[in-house]
Amino acid sequence: MLHLRVISPAARTREVLTVLEECPGATNIVVFPGAAVTPQGDLVQADLARESANAVIGALPWLHEEGSIALAQIDLALSKAAEEAVEEAPGDPDDAVIWAQLAQRVSAESRITWAYLAFLTIATQLAGIGVALNSIVLIVGAMVLGPEFGAIAAICFGLLSARWRLVAGAGRTLAVGFAIAIAVTFACALVSVRLGWIGPANLRVNEEVQFIVKPDRWSFIVAMLAGAAGVLSITGGKSSALIGVFISVTTVPAAGYVAVALALREWTEVAGSVTQLTLNVAGMLVAGTVTLAIQRRFWPQVGRGSSV
């Protein structure tokens, strides 16, 4: 269940109540006339089945400009009325995509922030060390730490909804993030080379991590599966599944390998890791966009009332 909070101009509160009363997934409807101060208006609250959120949001598009609408997850709802609302709402809560929520989330994750750059740089450095030390443990740690899937999901959503500014912004975030992460890791690797800590021999005996520079058909297939799973985990609110997505793809390890190979001037290794990075990103973009398109087109309870 979700908790809905609406601030509505007094003249339009009846319209809000009508939408909620006619929605099979809405219950526990409460009105506080004149309770809202900024913006001024009536406060309306209700509990809402997740699969009914699109219908309510889609029926009240004017609230974005004239009032306010907010949704919050309810962790515990002990209510017979709430149970009946979930049963009466079309579809299953786990299948429901709240498109407005998804749009807001991917928009936030498409921006370049210091936290994003820091996480991606640290992850790429860990991957670079893992490459140099032939440590699969460090490679996996770097995979989990990498934050790049948020930008990839934003591009997928932008492509689906023809929001080209979002696509451009997320693409820039992805490109700038990897460029900075590779540059910093390259500088650190170059210092290690000058100090004699690593050399070309490190890339000759790293059998455990050679998969990073040996892309093949499976690389693209795995990336597509990971992209589909990643989008499903975001749209379904199953954030724990993202960890499996991160471990499945080699975007960050490939970036770390690029940096180390550049420092060692191993151009063949550079080409292989760049190809791996490109295949992984392309596979996730294709699968992520297709997954979103399928969710919107073939799941009735998902697409109804959508603002995509």
What pLDDT tens digit does each residue of the chain (308 aa) get? 899 999 999 999 999 999 999 998 899 999 999 999 988 999 999 999 888 888 899 999 998 889 999 999 888 888 888 888 888 877 776 677 888 888 888 888 889 999 999 999 999 999 999 999 988 889 988 988 888 999 999 999 999 999 999 999 999 999 999 999 999 999 999 999 999 999 998 888 777 788 888 888 888 999 999 899 888 888 876 665 666 666 777 899 999 999 999 999 999 999 999 999 999 999 999 999 999 999 888 765 444 444 45
The tokens of 59 are what?
Answer: 């029926």
CA–CA separation, 306 and 193 (whole Å): 54
Q: What angle do CA 147, 244, 49 make, to 5 degrees?
A: 85
On whether the CB atoms of residues 47 and 85 are closer than 8 A, the answer is yes
CB atoms within 10 A of CB 119: 18
Model's pTM, two decimal places?
0.84
On whether the CB atoms of residues 56 and 261 are closer than 8 A, the answer is no
Element (H, E) at 70: strand 68-73
Q: How many residues does the chain have?
A: 308
Phi/psi of residue 47, nearest 5 degrees: -100, 140
97 residue type, one letter: V
User: What is the edge-to-edge ordering of all strands in the sheet holding 2-8?
Assistant: 26-36, 41-48, 2-8, 68-73
| Helices H / strands E in the chain, number of each | 14, 4
Burial (CB < 10 A; 0-12, 13-18, 19+), residue 251, is buried
CA–CA separation, 262 and 254 (whole Å): 12
